[in-house]
Amino acid sequence: MFGFVTGDPGRLMRFMEQAGLSPAALRQAAEDPGLLVGLLDHVVADQDLLLACAQAIGETPERITLAWQRLGPPPPDSFGA
């Protein structure tokens, strides 16, 4: 997924702008597992991007969404239940 987003300058710039990352910060974050969660947030938020990413990496959109759900924070309504 990292390669899909970073492999196209337009997709990369949209992700960096949305995440508030400079090129230097992106290079530094590449080692951080939190970057994957941010990439998943970015991809899952846009259905067209999700479908294109799924096709490019040979996964189903459902599996990408499931990974996003598992790696992201718990839903707000699950606190104090």
What is the per-residue pLDDT for 77? 72
Each of the 81 residues of the chain gets a pLDDT tens digit; together they read 889 998 999 999 999 999 999 999 998 988 888 888 899 999 999 999 999 999 999 999 999 999 999 987 777 776 665
What pTM, to 2 d.p., does this model score?
0.82
Please check whether residue 44 is in contact with residue 64, taking contact to mean a CB–CB distance below 8 angstroms: yes
Which residues have C-beta within 8 Å of that of residue 16, sequence separation ≥ 6? Answer: 22, 23, 26
